Structure formats: C-alpha cells, structure tokens
A and B are shown apart, each in its own frame.
Chain A
Amino acid sequence: MKVTKDLVAASATPMVLGILADGESYGYAILRRINELSDGELDWTEGLLYPLLHRLERLGHVESSWQSVPGERRRKYYRITDSGLAELAEQRRQWDTVVSALKAIWVDPGDVRRLATIPLGGLA
C-alpha cells in the first residue's frame, strides 16, 4: 500500500514542521525520519522536500543556515521559527478535526453497516 500523491502533498507541511519542531535538521535527515515514521509507506521525493523547505523559508516558517558540524560535511540546516510553530499548531488543529471526523465515520465494520441503514430507514 502506498499513500496517494495528493495525500502526501497535503500532509507534507505539517510533517516537516513537526519534525523540525523537535530540533533543527537537514534535508536528508528529514527524509529519512519521514521514512522511518511511515515504515516507507510515504513516498517522498527530493523534488517534493527541497522546494517545500524553500517555500516554508520564504513564508518565514523556517530559517536556514549553512553549518559545519565537526567531523561532518557542511550542511544546510533548517530551524523552525515562531511563526512556523504557530503554523504547526494551526495545521494540527485542522488535521485533528479531519482525523476525528474520519474516525467518527469509520468505526468498526459492523457499525458501518448499521450506519449505512440509517439514512435508508430515514428516507422510507
């Protein structure tokens, strides 16, 4: 099972902001983290990640800087800003709404059948 492209794109911003909320990071690490968290089910490409990071930077949700950590390569690190944290909170609120609504709809299979009969009964 692979998550569809639309859903990946829609969840991209909160996911990146959420990862950066744990601490600054760089592109490759972010991509690996997303892979870990989703067991490889989320099909993220570099073409999605880097332009997204640049857009978030343009909107002021993240800041970037080139840093050289001793013993490693020079890397472009991204850090979440206050406005990014606010955006993350807003996105979380929206996603919570969506998720709880979906959960309410998708109870267990028995319930689905029960729910499906109700409107019919109501119409009759």
Chain B
Amino acid sequence: MTAPGSPDGGTTPYGPDGLEAQFDQWRHYVRRRPELQRSDAEELEDHLRGSVDELIAAGLRPDEAFLVAVKRLGGLDELSREFAREHSERLWKQLVLTGGTDDPETDNRSRRDLVAMIVCAVGAAVSIKLPALFGQGFEQDGAFYAPNFALFTLPWLAAYLAWRRRAGTAVIGVMVALFALGAVAANVYSLAEDSQSLVLTTIHLPIALWFVVGLAYVSDDLRSSRRRMDFIRFTGECFVYFVLIGLGGGVLTAFTVGTFQAIGIDPEGFVSEWLLPCGVVAAVVVAGWLVEAKQSVVENIAPVLTRLFTPLFTAALLAFLIAIVWTTAGINVEREALILFDLLLVVVLGLLLYSISARDPLAPPGLFDRLQLALVVSALIIDVLVLWAITERITEYGTTPNKAAALGENVILLANLAWSAWLVLGFVRRRTPFAALERWQTGYLPVYAGWAWIVVLLFPPLFNYL
C-alpha cells in the first residue's frame, strides 16, 4: 500500500487549504482500517500535524512537509499491524450494538435502532397476549393461534424495517393492506381443527407474510435486484439468528423451570402461556434487528454453512441416484414422500441461493460452481422421478388440498431449479454471465409469494373447506 497524500496531480497544495485537504484525505484513509479507531486516528493526526509544523518551521513547503511527515509515520500497514497486536480484540468484537463505537453519529443511530427494536419486540409480545383478554388460551384455541401466529410477529418486524428504511406511504399502505388480507384469510374461513386447509394456512401464511416483510426490507429501492438479493441474505441470517436465540431461550427455559421447581413452585403455566409465545414473537424481531445491526461486520453464517454442505448434499444425492439405478427400485410414493422431496428441493434451492448470495459476481467459474451444477441436476432427476410417480397416483385417486399444495410447490421449485441449472451450465461454460442467475433468482421471488397467497386465499373454498 502506498502512503496516502502522495501527489495526485490534481491539486498543488501550497497553502494551508491544500494542506487541510490532504489531512482530510489521510484521515479517510486511516478510518478505513478496522484496527484504528476514531480516537487513534485523531491521535495520529495530531502527531502528523506536530511533525508537519516542525518541518515547515525548518523551512519546508507545506506539501513537502506533509509528504515527509507521512513518510516518517511509516506505512499504514505496519502501523495497523502494531495496533492490532495491542488491540487484537478489535478484529473480533466489531459488533458494537450501542455506544462505545467512539463515533457519536453511529452511536446515536444504533441507540435509536435499539429503542425502535425494543418497542417492536415488546409490541409483538403484548399483541400475542391480547387475544387472551377475549378468552383465547393457547391450550384450547390452537385452531385460532396456529394460523394467526405469524400475524403477531411479522407486522412488527416489517414495521421496524419500514421505519429504518423510511418507507413511503404508498408502500406502507400496501403492507398494511396485505397484513389485513392475511388476517382475513386466517380467520374468515371456518375450518375444522383437524382440516388439511388449516394446516396449509398455518404453513403458507407465514411464507406469504414473510414476503411482505421483504417488501418492507426493499422499500427504499423496490425494483433493485441487488436489494432483493440482500433480502435473501437477510432471510438466511435471520433464520440462523432465530435458531441461535431459540437455543439460548431453551437453556433459559430449562433453568427457569428447574430452579423454580427446586423451591416447590411450578412455573410450567408461566412458561407455556407467557415465556414461550412472547419469547418466540419477540425473538423474530430481535433476530431481524441483529442482522441489520451486524450487517457486513461479521462474516455471514448462511453462506459458510452452504459451502460446508453443498459437497455433502451432492454426494448424498448422487449416492441416492446410483442406488435407484443399481437396485432398479421404484420410489415408494406416500404423501410424506412428496413432502420430503419438496423439502429436499427447498434445501437444494437454499444451498444454491446462499452460495449465489455470497459469491463475487465477477469471479470466473470454478470447481464449486461445477459441484453446484451436479447438485442441482441430481436433485432435478430425482424430482422428475418422484413427480412421475405422484401424478400417476393423483390421476388414480383424485386430489386433496395437501397433495395439490405439495404438487404445486414441487412444480414451482422444479421450474426454478431447471432454469437455474441451465444458467449455471451456461455460466460454467462461460456463455452466460453470473448476473443472469442472480437476476433469475431475485425475479422469481414474487412467484413464491404469489403461490403462498393462492394456497392461503383460494385453497379453502376450492376444496370445500376440507
């Protein structure tokens, strides 16, 4: 790295103004180093100024003095290395939630974020207990809480994100309308507690509403493919954080129950009626906030997991294919099998998405891309075999909401993966740019949302509220 402040030909800083510009430039340069905090930069700048003053007093011109002083300060690389040796924690603990970033502006912003997050998390926790005022209990009214659960938490997360992005009134209006539509869909059909449609709504409404959260997430730039990709990243990280918070919450619950039971108080009612539901809905908001706060500070986890599991899943799928060919066994198509293979496609799509999300779009195709192609193609072949078997089954026995939903999802995922495989193939053969794959995936997002809404809104009447 060259020393900053080298003459760039544009300015000839003879006077004090030019000197200040050079100091500015140098300051920006230093601030980019994670090892050097603001106060360090200021201290070093004071040092630099002392050095410059002395050199000017010795008869040098200001620009010469600056050059010599910067040179004397030594290379920034070396300086950073020395600072890192003393402050090694700075390379680790860069996630500063509030305060202590020694930059008042950032501090203020993160404090406002924290307050907004707490308001939203508390709002979510309160809102899930509101129906209890009208006599709805978690134990006896499962048919009410199951499809409605997402409605108690995702609007709060969306509100937090919309606040953070300063979403326009039009976007906010659309979001409110969609959440209201979700509330209608969850409650207007009178579904029996054991009906298939209730289960389908319980699964699909959160998906549909998650894309409304996505709308809040991309509200500062609705059409941008980059922003949608960010939302995919956000989804993955949010999920990872939610699982981690859940694990921590499990430990907390275990200790609460254990310690209170030790003194003869049974907290189980408190845990199941308060701690668990309030904790879960608040954790969703907290997870979203954490992802926003730590964005680009810590290595993202989802892509790391992707790198780890892509080869393993590829090996497993190839082994499965070889086993099918070897034994010439047909796939035993039960209802569970269809769901299992749906989930398999979701996992493969997830592996594809998160390696796309972390990939440098300009890097040339490598071994990992070929591996991915093998993964997607083997998943496709397996899925075609499954689809073949299932269509026979459906044409024979007629359809149910579960089968129709599973089949629809299968087709949607199949279409996505088939075209993705084509694009990856083109990329590996250097025919199509990587960006095409990225655009395809981000452009496909509304399809998932649309399907989830169809299942939630149209399936119950279509299948006679079965």
Contact = CB atoms under 8 A, between A and B. Distances in A.
A76 B83 contact: no
Given A51-B83, A54-B86, A54-B87, A46 B44 contact: yes
A47 interface: yes
B40 A50 contact: yes
Contact of A47 (B39, B43, B50, B82): B82
Contacts of B51: 28
Interface in B4-37: none
Interface in A51-67: 51-52, 54-55, 58, 66
Given A45-B74, A46-B79, A76-B39, A55 B86 contact: yes
Specify which of B39, B44, B50, B83 lies most central, judged by the most chain A CB atoms within 10 Å of its CB.
B50
B46 A47 contact: no
B73 interface: yes
A4 B73 CA distance: 19
B43 A27 contact: yes
Nearest to B73: A46
A51 B90 CA distance: 13
A68 B40 CA distance: 17
B47 A46 contact: yes
A63 to B, nearest CB: 14
B42 interface: yes
Contacts of A73: 46, 49
Interface in B37-78: 39-40, 42-44, 46-47, 49-51, 73-74, 78
Nearest to A27: B47
Interface string A8-27: 00000000000000000011
B46 A28 contact: yes
Nearest to A52: B86
Contacts of B46: 26-28, 73-76
A25 to B, nearest CB: 12
Interface residues of B, number: 20
Nearest to B54: A32
B81 interface: yes
Interface string B237-275: 000000000000000000000000000000000000000
Contacts of A51: 82-83, 85-87
A76 B43 contact: yes
A37 B75 CA distance: 25
Contact of A48 (B39, B40, B82, B87): B82
A50 B39 contact: no
A30 to B, nearest CB: 10
Nearest to B84: A51
A50 B42 contact: no
Given A54-B86, A76-B39, A76-B42, A47 B47 contact: no
A74 B215 CA distance: 47
A82 to B, nearest CB: 23
Contact of B74 (A47, A54, A74): A47
A27 B87 CA distance: 18
Nearest to A45: B74
A71 to B, nearest CB: 13
Interface in B65-111: 73-74, 78-79, 81-83, 85-87
A52 B79 CA distance: 12
Contacts of B42: 74, 76
Contacts of A28: 46-47, 50-51
A50 B82 CA distance: 9
Interface in A33-51: 45-48, 50-51
Contacts of B86: 51-52, 54-55, 58
A60 B330 CA distance: 74
Interface string A98-122: 0000000000000000000000000
Contacts of A47: 74, 78-79, 81-83
Contacts of A45: 74, 78
Nearest to A51: B86
Contacts of B39: 66, 76
Nearest to A76: B43
A117 B55 CA distance: 54
Contacts of B85: 51
Which 8 pairs across A and B sit closest by C-beta, in order of nearness? A28-B50, A47-B82, A51-B86, A47-B79, A28-B47, A51-B82, A76-B43, A55-B86
Interface of A: 26-29, 31, 45-48, 50-52, 54-55, 58, 66, 73-76
5 contacts: A27-B46, A28-B50, A28-B51, A31-B47, A73-B49
Given A45-B78, A46-B44, A51-B82, 15 more contacts: A28-B46, A28-B50, A28-B51, A31-B47, A45-B74, A46-B73, A47-B81, A47-B83, A50-B44, A55-B86, A58-B86, A73-B46, A74-B42, A75-B46, A76-B42
